[in-house]
Each structure stands twice: as C-alpha cells, then as structure tokens.
C-alpha cells in the first residue's frame, strides 16, 4: 500500500525545495517531526524513492517532511547540504503547525540521504541550531574510499559502479573527501551529536560502514543503537524501488523507529506516539 502524502515547499534562501508531508499534526500534544532524505548515490533518486521509509516513519507515529534536494551532477558538495540546512531550519520554524508545539525534530535518510542527514546533524551541532533530537541513518553512504569488506563483496569498489561514480560526482575534487560534513565516517570530532539509530542489512554494501559509524559514535559518547537486518534484502536499491516489500522489513523498522522516538522523547513533555499501520 502506497503511503498517502501531500506536496509542500521549503524555503532555502536560494529558491523553494519540493517536499512531501506524511502523517498529520495531532489534535493534542505533538508528534515527532522527521526531516527525511531519499537515496540515489547523490546523483539520482526522487521523492517517490523515499516513500517507503517515509511511510514507515509515519506509521511509527511521526510527521515526516521528505525533501528533495539538488543532485550532485549539477551541484557538487556542499551545495545540497547548504540548501538542506536552510530547509531543515525552515521545518523547525514551522514545527508547531506541522507536528504540534514543542515537537522534537529528527533527521533521517537512507544511502546518500543518510550521508546528508549525518552531515546536517554535524552542521546543527556546530551552529547550535536547530536543535536535533536524533538521527536515523538507514544504510548510509559514509566512506568515499569504498574500502570495506561489504563493499568489496558487492564488487562495488572500482570505477564504473554507481557508488564510486556518485562519490566522485558529489565530492567534485579529492580533497573534499577530508571534509567531515561530506564524509562523516572520517570525522575525528563526533562528540555532542544527537542520539543515533543506525539500520542496515547483512547483504548491503554499506553494512560495514554503517557498523563502523555506529561504533565511532558510541565511542564518542553519543547514545547509539545499531540494528542489522538478516539477508537477503538487496539493500539499498530495494528500499527505493516500487516493488512490494516484505512485511518483516516494515514491521521491524517501524518498531525500531517507534522505540527510538520513545527513548529520545524530551523529558517532561507530553506527545502522541501511536503507530498507524494505515499510513502504509
């Protein structure tokens, strides 16, 4: 079942950014507000590609703003990240209307969207605004060296594979790979980031870098939960394709997302957090 959504636009300072809104503002209290980003190896992907994860986040009780973003083919790093930071700031300003007064703001993304979500979390920490309650990273692209065992098993480490080409296009020049906002896994300064939920799958090429980033966050004192789904899944491609997904994926991730929202809920606030399977 395709999750229902409505089209909205977000302000970036350099033009409007298209987005889809999933879920609805509760009549009382608030719901978690999630700023979500689709995958596509930085060079592809659409709002439709992000519908599956957005629907699960909404089913876990959140209001989800799934944003499109400028692709690296025309706009290499840091163009998309800068535009998205302005967009998530706009979402934060509108949080009362979108999800209720006091709604906590989360970042989420899969594959290249997970990279951008991680980079936004660093930017928000360094600029001390907007406040981020947590980050949800689903098989994020974090390592431009493509040197992990899970990448090698996928035969994805040489030029010509979409992830190698995506990294090259996104970075634009080799020295950008040293920038922590572009390649979060290489960052030596991960402290004070928001709590993280990292999800991947055993047969996903990004499995090892997902684990490594979760370990690095935990070592830096960031509350972190990592969950690896059993294969075969054909992640991350199968996440964004329109084909029906196994019910086990949906149920497992919905529960993980809901539990993460509960564990990171701001103290002394009341809010709605009710799973809504009808959203899917």
pLDDT tens column, 166-215: 999 999 999 999 999 999 999 999 999 999 999 999 999 999 999 999 99
**Residues whose CB is less than 8 angstroms from the CB of residue 230 and which lie 6 or more positions away in sequence, other chains included:** 201, 202
pLDDT in tens, 47-106: 999 999 999 999 999 999 999 999 999 999 999 999 999 999 999 999 999 999 999 999
Helix (H) or strand (E) holding 225: strand 224-229
CA 130/CA 85 separation, integer angstroms: 9
Please give the pLDDT value at position 153: 83
Q: With contact defined as beta carbons under 8 Å apart, do 167 and 146 qualify? A: yes
CA 156/CA 236 separation, integer angstroms: 13
Q: How far is CA 136 from CA 57, 64, 92, 118, 147, in A?
A: 10, 12, 17, 9, 23
Whole-number mean pLDDT of the chain?
92
| Residue 260 pLDDT greater than 60, yes or no | yes
CB atoms within 10 A of CB 259: 14
First vs last C-alpha separation in the chain: 6
Q: With contact defined as beta carbons under 8 Å apart, do 114 and 140 qualify? A: yes
Q: With contact defined as beta carbons under 8 Å apart, do 33 and 22 qualify? A: no
| Residue 267 pLDDT greater than 90, yes or no | no
- pLDDT category, 152, cuts 50, 70, 90? confident
Please give the pLDDT value at position 269: 52
- pLDDT category, 148, cuts 50, 70, 90? very high
DSSP of 140-162:
----TT--SHHHHHTT-SSBTBH
Strand 63-67 with 33-37, pairing: parallel
Tokens linked to 207: 């499995």
* Cross-strand partners of 21: 6, 65
**Residues whose CB is less than 8 angstroms from the CB of residue 11 and which lie 6 or more positions away in sequence, other chains included:** 17, 86, 87, 90
Helix (H) or strand (E) holding 57: helix 51-59
* Percent of residues, the chain, with pLDDT higher than 70: 92
CB atoms within 10 A of CB 250: 16
CA 185/CA 212 separation, integer angstroms: 8
**Residues whose CB is less than 8 angstroms from the CB of residue 151 and which lie 6 or more positions away in sequence, other chains included:** 143, 157, 163, 205, 206, 208, 209
Please give the pLDDT value at position 4: 87
């Amino acid at each position: 079942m395709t999750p229902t959504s409505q089209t909205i636009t977000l302000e970036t300072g350099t033009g409007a950014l298209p987005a889809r809104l999933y879920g609805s503002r509760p009549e009382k209290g608030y719901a978690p507000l999630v700023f979500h980003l689709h995958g596509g190896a930085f060079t592809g992907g659409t709002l439709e590609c992000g519908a599956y994860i957005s629907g699960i986040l909404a089913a876990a009780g959140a209001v989800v703003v799934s944003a499109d973003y400028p692709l690296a083919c025309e706009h290499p790093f840091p163009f998309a990240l800068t535009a998205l930071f302005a967009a998530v700031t706009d979402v934060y300003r509108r949080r009362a209307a979108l999800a209720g007064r006091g709604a906590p703001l989360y970042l989420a993304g899969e594959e290249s969207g997970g990279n951008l979500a991680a980079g936004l979390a660093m930017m928000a920490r360094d600029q001390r605004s907007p406040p981020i309650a947590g980050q949800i990273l689903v098989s994020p692209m974090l390592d431009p060296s493509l040197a992990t065992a899970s990448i090698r098993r996928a035969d994805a480490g040489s030029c010509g594979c979409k992830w190698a080409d995506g990294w090259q296009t996104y970075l634009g020049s080799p020295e950008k790979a040293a920038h922590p906002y572009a390649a979060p896994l290489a960052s030596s300064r991960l402290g004070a980031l928001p709590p993280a939920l990292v999800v991947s799958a055993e047969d996903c090429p990004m499995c090892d870098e997902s684990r490594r980033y979760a370990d690095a966050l935990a070592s830096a004192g960031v509350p972190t939960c990592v969950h690896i789904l059993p294969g075969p899944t054909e992640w991350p491609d199968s996440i964004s394709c329109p084909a029906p997904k196994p019910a086990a994926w949906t149920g497992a991730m919905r529960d993980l997302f809901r539990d993460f929202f509960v564990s990171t809920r701001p103290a002394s606030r009341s809010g709605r957090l009710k799973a809504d399977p009808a959203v899917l």
